[in-house]
Structure 1
Amino acid sequence: MNRYDHKEIEKKWQDKWEEAKVFEASDTSEKPKFFALIEFPFASGEGMHMGHLRSNTAMDVISRKRRAEGYNVLYPIGWDAFGLPTENYAIKTGKQPSVITKDNTDNFRLQLKRAGFSFDWTREVNTSDPSYYKWTQWIFLQFFKKGLAYKKKMSINWCPKDKIGLANEEVMNGLCERCGTAVEKRDKEQWMLAITKYADRLDKDLDTVNYLENIKTQQRNWIGRSEGAEISFKVIFEGGQQSGLIPVFTTRADTLFGVTYMVLSPEHPWVTLAVDENHKGVIKNVEEVRTYIAEAKKKDEITRTDAGKVKTGVELKGVKAVNPATGEEIPMFVADYVLAHYGTGAVMAVPAHDERDFEFAKKYNLSIKKVVEPVFIQETEPGKVRKDLPVEEREAIIAIVKHWSEDKYIGLKWKEVAWGTFITGGIEEGQTAEEAAKMEILEETGFLHPKLVADFGILHGKFYHVPKKVNRFAHASTLLFRLEDDQQKEVLSEEKAKHEVVWLSRAELQKFLTPATHFRALDILNGIEFYS
């Protein structure tokens, strides 16, 4: 058997494909259309790397499948030959960019054809070709005429060596991806495109495309569509300077009463003015603030906004903001988790109802005020809310009952349904929550002497009450009792038929409890705080 010569066999069939024009899309075909596109390779390297083979192969498989299914497939190829990569390569090699682009694309073309990718080579484009970029210039002019292209001074990632702005994706661990120089934040005038004018349509149209949900989420975050209100906070100074206003954009105006501090981005215009030489005395710790701002400028936005990152900040001493709802004076901070270009670059912090604000408040020992009570919706069985049934509201209690001598608590192990709960029940007309809880304790356990120790407030939960076959929206007063002794009367047989009384440690309760509201009650018992 002759040895398989892949070079000869592959070239034979690749030549036949090219002669037969099997990969060329038709402009007049009646077949359904399918457009496939990869990112055009940068013409800044001498040839392909494994990343090209990976992405090109994936799209090539899809394109060939679509042709086999009867589609008229347009799968073009081209060269991204403008910008920083080509410029850097030209500087590195000492050759003219036009010469480099031609040499490199000639080699790319040869390699891509040898790899057998099914590109339509009649559609080959080069972004540095005047016949191509005249259309990008034309599009830009149309944007400009319609007010969609405009200039704005803003903070950008700046490479001091390459002397160029960088996208967040081109900054790796605070360094320029190309040259390894430490990236700085600089205010530069930039051309911007007003995509926010189309935010509603862009967001809505994502519902019509067959993307993975995580990709849709990324796109929505990029679109940045937000509905909310702009609220102005008065700023007052210990030094007696004239007060001013700082506007804040918020999507949660309903939490205004829970604002306990304000945060400004390091690039916020107010902070920039407050630390310059012309405004001495505005901030008492100006050097501390300047140092923090300098450190923040070394970080890229992805690092600054990473949810897992430890939040940092510096209080602006000598200045306070005034909560417009309560009139309370609240501290002001500069913190790098706030970005200048998101909203107004200022955040009204509501630590009881925002994860980042909560983490920051805990770290700096700031006030946490709950002003909105969460609703816990049962989304797992047993007790998952039935969407086909109405919801009945009910005033209720959750009674956490502690042993008279041990750190153990009563749990009810239900027999008709796989529930594990604290003592629970409804509040009848004319009853207080404490009276209703004591009545349930007596009926369900027989214990005679529970003593109220703490009121944990009201927990709101929606669930499907399996034994009663109804959706419930329970507003449960959550009370902690301690039994004074072990005196107990006999429990009725009908109560025994519903559930078994068990004594459990806190660790055992963690595995035992099933409803979301009862889990939250356990967290409160354990002293666990979190935003909601």
Structure 2
Amino acid sequence: MKYENFKEVERKWQNIWDEKDVFAATNDYTKPKYYALVEFPYPSGQGLHVGHPRSYTALDIVARKKRLQGYNVLYPMGWDAFGLPTENYAMKNHIHPELVTQKNVARFKYQLKSLGLSFDWNREINTTDPDYFRWTQWIFLQLFKKGLAYKKEMAVNWCTGCKVVLANEEVVNGVCERCGGEVVRKVKSQWMLKITEYAQRLLDDLDTVDYIDRVKVSQRNWIGRSTGAEVEFTTTAGDILKVFTTRPDTLFGATYMVMSPEHEMIEKWANSLTNIDAVNAYRQEAAKKSDFDRTEVAKEKTGVKLEGIMAINPVNGTQIPIYIADYVLTSYGTGAIMAVPAHDTRDWEFAKKFGLPIIEVVKGGDVQNEAFTDCYTGVMVNSGFLDGMTVEEAKKAIIAWLSEHKKGEPKVNFKLRDWVFSRQRYWGEPIPIVICDKCGFVPLPENELPLRLPHIDSYEQTETGESPLAKIDSWVNTTCPHCGGPAKRETDTMPQWAGSSWYFMRYCDPTCATGIAAKEALDYWLPVDWYNGGMEHTTLHLLYSRFWHKFLYDIGVVSSPEPYAKRTSHGMILGENGEKMSKSRGNVVNPDDIINEYGADTMRLYEMFIGDFEKSAPWNTASIRGCRRFLDRIWDLSEIVIEGSDYRAELETPFHKTIKKVSEDIESLKFNTAIAALMSLLNDITKLGTINRAELKTFLLLINPFAPHITEELWQKNGFEGMVTQQKWPEFDPAKCRENTIEIVVQVNGKIRDRLVIAADAKAEEVLAQAKITPRTAEELAGKQIIKELYVPGKLVNLVVKPV
């Protein structure tokens, strides 16, 4: 009989769960807790796509299992609702962003509920709620008071279409990923957060958390710690250029220098450069490229020599030319490098193109030498007092020499840059700073938070690129909280990253009016026990939220130095053609359609059965039907139930093995193999033709986290007490997980000749004796002498023979 009434069943149990607050976390802080977290979504107008449920269902399975194991589980959901897409939509359609957000949130929430996800909706948050962003602003003020929030002039990616500053990741092939407009480099005054102050701790504390390896690698690469020396090169103009290098031992091989096109010294030297027009033209072209495009390894090297000024190599006094080239970024190191073309492929390519000297200083370490070994382990040559030293000896010697002669010092450098924290747009948290001609930047008093956005009719940026707020005189003009004189409000707003950098804390106590959450709640729930999200967020979001958490730890707001004890990431669900889902490819699958045709339980099962959770997998409609047939077979179990208060002998081992397998697989993200084990158990039950009440209870409990609606219905239909969600997760007996008998193969001279069923604890001599008398093996042994006998316990027998 088919499970035809799935829509009615799913609506029924979703309503019951809501009415009874079944999944609400309690404030009983004496119970063992478990905090499961998924990244909250940006509520776009398109609604959920099938990639969202993969992460949500996975952690929902974990949350449901933990509840059945007696934990007080917090599994919350909310909305990361500030952002440029909503503002762009508002501008295009003349609708206030708040109304757009409300509509999108309602749609997303409906879709999430239709999946039967066990979120605690009592703790729902929204980053655009003034009661929420009041505390986002409060955190900013604490950062400002501690000197970790500051304003500076800097070159930024400027979208000529959206008229906003973009992060590097938002620039693709020189254009804005949202509007396709040209992106140029432009100097603007920006609010910055000094995340670099926490760089070493962000790196070191990765050793204290349970993150999958690829997440830790992405974090370490983004932070990018390197040790070396800061070296001072004097110039013929009398100025000093500082460079950071991890290879100060190769200084004798530095034959030229390269500066970023944005380097501040270029303006200072303008009157001394004889080719300033060519220099400026190159700078303008470089301004049109993103940092990613500029540092692409395979791209052709370009640059312009600064005619009229030379640098002086500090170790030998040799004058060397200075170039500007776009592959050097002002945001990394000092914005200038020393080039050692013999031992760096990028420098070698540049030197060959511009006809610059190439001097080998590490024997055998020339990158273009056919006998190249390793420029990190060779012996120094052509290096004056360093000659004959190993690389490591030379590093120590040159750093000591530089320090002694005041031409440099040892230095640790990080690739990580301070966080650009301002956006010139309307739909974001107002920055609670007042600008006074007399007092400078003044923080808004905390009792005046939240600083709300004024209602406006036009969301267009000004022609000079200021936020739309700059046009609202009644909001901008204010008085200085410090001196009482006339002042103006900061009109930049915070980036979307702001609200998502601490949202996991607010879930602990979402209605708290005296702080981000009550201290007792934060101490109980944090750190998050398991956080899952996309790999695309394992650099910036993860770093930003770890940074904010560590800062709040330092000022005593939270009690754990790290926000997340465990972090995993899921693979993307691709279209049936194996490509990323997109409207342009016509391969997008709407989860609403799947739920309508097959049901939420089928959708949940399929998304977990589709393949390795951590890897990408193509959508496959045939497999969905297979998951639906599995539910039909489960539904039919009600027709073959018999009495029984314990597992029958025939099913005892399969049940204990399945409990063990499913329990362990859920904890290790192997949802597909857990479902496969349940399918196998169902086959065992079907072969027997009946299932007793004790067996049915356990089976329904095991499948419940994956398919909660059908299991609740069958639980009730079969007269079991309460609901599945109120029961206890089944336990297994390790002794009963072992099979009484096992099957092994019998080989003769390494070739399989037969199979043999033996007792699991059979002795080697017993197994060998049985193997020799199986019909096919005995036939193979006729007329031959056994010269060697081998038994690999539980796997095989191999008999080595030769003709008599």
Scaled by the length of structure 1, the TM-score of the pair is 0.64
Q: Secondary structure at the match of 2:131?
A: helix
- Segments of 5+ residues of structure 1 without an aligned counterpart are 237-241, 376-399, 401-456, 462-532
Q: Is 1:354 the counterpart of 2:354 in the alignment?
A: no
Q: List aligned pairs for 1:3-82, cutoff 5 A.
A: 4-67=4-67, 70-82=70-82
In structure 2, the residue matched to 1:219 is 219
Q: Distance in 2 between matches of 1:106 and 1:15?
A: 17
Percentage identity across paired residues of the two chains: 56
In structure 1, the residue matched to 2:204 is 204
User: How many residues in Structure 1 have an aligned counterpart in Structure 2?
Assistant: 371
Q: Distance in 1 between matches of 2:64 and 2:273?
A: 65
| Residues 134, 5 of structure 1: alpha-carbon distance in 2 compared, 3 angstrom cutoff | same
In structure 2, the residue matched to 1:322 is 312
Q: List aligned pairs for 1:152-231, cutoff 5 A.
A: 152-231=152-231
Q: Is 1:338 the counterpart of 2:328 in the alignment?
A: yes
Q: Is 1:369 the counterpart of 2:364 in the alignment?
A: no
| Residues 203, 258 of structure 1: alpha-carbon distance in 2 compared, 3 angstrom cutoff | same
In structure 1, the residue matched to 2:616 is none
In structure 2, the residue matched to 1:500 is none
Q: Is 1:246 the counterpart of 2:236 in the alignment?
A: no
CA offset digits 1:355-394 (Å, max 9, x no partner): 432333344343233334589xxxxxxxxxxxxxxxxxxx
Highest RCO, 1 vs 2 (Cα 8 Å, sep ≥ 6): 2
Q: Distance in 2 between matches of 1:132 and 1:215?
A: 29
Q: Secondary structure at the match of 2:76?
A: coil
CA offset digits 1:264-295 (Å, max 9, x no partner): 11111123444xxxx34x33333332232222
The alpha-carbon deviation at position 175 of structure 1 amounts to 1.4
Tell me which amino acid in the other structure corresponds to 2:135: W
The alpha-carbon deviation at position 302 of structure 1 amounts to 1.8
Match of 1:269 among 260, 264, 277: 264
Match of 2:254 among 240, 252, 259: 259
- Segments of 5+ residues of structure 2 without an aligned counterpart are 366-370, 372-386, 392-804
Q: Is 1:300 the counterpart of 2:287 in the alignment?
A: no
Q: Distance in 2 between matches of 1:250 and 1:112?
A: 51
The alpha-carbon deviation at position 263 of structure 1 amounts to 0.9
Q: Distance in 1 between matches of 2:286 and 2:66?
A: 49
The alpha-carbon deviation at position 5 of structure 1 amounts to 3.6
Q: Distance in 2 between matches of 1:225 and 1:150?
A: 23
Q: Distance in 2 between matches of 1:250 and 1:103?
A: 53
Tell me which amino acid in the other structure corresponds to 1:52: H
In structure 1, the residue matched to 2:126 is 126
User: Contact 1:77–1:124 (CA<8 Å) still a contact in 2?
Assistant: yes
Q: Distance in 2 between matches of 1:204 and 1:37?
A: 24
CA offset digits 1:48-67 (Å, max 9, x no partner): 23343344344444444554
User: Contact 1:229–1:253 (CA<8 Å) still a contact in 2?
Assistant: yes
Q: Distance in 1 between matches of 2:288 and 2:251?
A: 33
The alpha-carbon deviation at position 71 of structure 1 amounts to 4.3
Q: Secondary structure at the match of 2:37?
A: coil
In structure 2, the residue matched to 1:108 is 108
The alpha-carbon deviation at position 216 of structure 1 amounts to 2.0
The alpha-carbon deviation at position 310 of structure 1 amounts to 3.3
Q: Distance in 2 between matches of 1:251 and 1:157?
A: 28
Q: Distance in 1 between matches of 2:350 and 2:120?
A: 54
Q: Distance in 2 between matches of 1:150 and 1:243?
A: 31
Q: Distance in 1 between matches of 2:364 and 2:144?
A: 46
Q: Distance in 1 between matches of 2:37 and 2:344?
A: 40
Q: Distance in 2 between matches of 1:35 and 1:272?
A: 54
In structure 2, the residue matched to 1:434 is none
Q: List aligned pairs for 1:385-464, cutoff 5 A.
A: none
Tell me which amino acid in the other structure corresponds to 1:304: R
Q: Distance in 1 between matches of 2:69 and 2:174?
A: 47
In structure 2, the residue matched to 1:311 is 301
Q: Distance in 2 between matches of 1:254 and 1:154?
A: 32
Scaled by the length of structure 2, the TM-score of the pair is 0.43
Tell me which amino acid in the other structure corresponds to 1:357: D
CA offset digits 1:392-447 (Å, max 9, x no partner): xxxxxxxx9xxxxxxxxxxxxxxxxxxxxxxxxxxxxxxxxxxxxxxxxxxxxxxx
The alpha-carbon deviation at position 340 of structure 1 amounts to 0.6
Between 1:340-349 and 1:288-297, the stretch displaced more is 288-297
In structure 2, the residue matched to 1:432 is none
Q: Secondary structure at the match of 1:37?
A: strand
| Residues 2, 251 of structure 1: alpha-carbon distance in 2 compared, 3 angstrom cutoff | closer
| Residues 32, 108 of structure 1: alpha-carbon distance in 2 compared, 3 angstrom cutoff | same
In structure 1, the residue matched to 2:151 is 151
| Residues 150, 26 of structure 1: alpha-carbon distance in 2 compared, 3 angstrom cutoff | same
Q: Distance in 1 between matches of 2:278 and 2:65?
A: 61
Tell me which amino acid in the other structure corresponds to 2:24: E
The alpha-carbon deviation at position 162 of structure 1 amounts to 1.5
Q: Distance in 2 between matches of 1:57 and 1:373?
A: 57
Q: Distance in 2 between matches of 1:11 and 1:373?
A: 75
Tell me which amino acid in the other structure corresponds to 2:220: R
Q: Distance in 1 between matches of 2:58 and 2:363?
A: 48
| Residues 89, 208 of structure 1: alpha-carbon distance in 2 compared, 3 angstrom cutoff | same
- Which structure shows the bigger proportion of residues in strand conformation? 1
Q: Distance in 1 between matches of 2:54 and 2:280?
A: 46
Match of 2:277 among 284, 287, 293: 287
In structure 1, the residue matched to 2:735 is none
The alpha-carbon deviation at position 208 of structure 1 amounts to 1.8
Q: Secondary structure at the match of 1:371?
A: coil
CA offset digits 1:150-177 (Å, max 9, x no partner): 1111111111222211112211222112
| Residues 261, 130 of structure 1: alpha-carbon distance in 2 compared, 3 angstrom cutoff | same
User: Contact 1:46–1:107 (CA<8 Å) still a contact in 2?
Assistant: no
Between 1:247-256 and 1:152-161, the stretch displaced more is 247-256
Q: Secondary structure at the match of 2:38?
A: coil
In structure 2, the residue matched to 1:85 is 85
The alpha-carbon deviation at position 69 of structure 1 amounts to 5.3
Q: Distance in 2 between matches of 1:269 and 1:111?
A: 52
